[in-house]
Amino acid sequence: MKRILSVLIVLVVLVVFLFTDCAAQPEKRQKAPNFSLQTQNGKVIELSKLTGKVVLVNFWATWCPPCRAEIPDFIEVYNTYKSKGFEIVGIALDEDGWSKVAPYIEKAKMNYPIVLGSAKVVQQYGGIEAIPTTFIVDKKGYIVASQVGLVSKELLEQKLKSLLK
């Protein structure tokens, strides 16, 4: 009987955990810090101007193996969902700046906007301690998910399907 009760308690806790996230609890949501950063071509990307879209903000670097591993999935997901109101902004944290990032963008055939990060943006997003670090921002500009480490295509698409409705 104790074993059944223990299993039942674990299941209830698990169900509550799985169905509780920032999107369901507005009081826990945090407004995504705005930034204004330039692409290699000089185009300014300002997060606040992307309100109305679901935005993936990805802190990465060219020398980071997990960062490089998730890029092909980001490219594919971007192709699928861009027309449905989805945007990706890659924030490169390479110390050598565009001299390293620009050739990598071309080599990887990255089709979404890439900007160079700054110490200010890193601090605004909690002092990024490991990369990749990814934030998903809803249409109203609130962070609804974040992850340190590689984001799987499956997890990303699952989240997008609910946010793009």
Residue ranges per structural domain of the chain: 24-163
Q: Alpha-carbon distance 40 to 137, whole Å?
A: 23
Condensed to tens digits (0 to 9), the pLDDT of residues 130-157 reads 999 999 999 999 999 999 999 999 999 9
CATH topology for the 24-163 domain: Glutaredoxin (3.40.30)
- Read off the pLDDT band of 27 (50, 70, 90): low
pTM of the model: 0.83
SS3 category, 87: strand
- Span 56-82, average pLDDT: 98
How far the first Cα of the chain sits from its last, in Å, is: 44
pLDDT at 79: 98
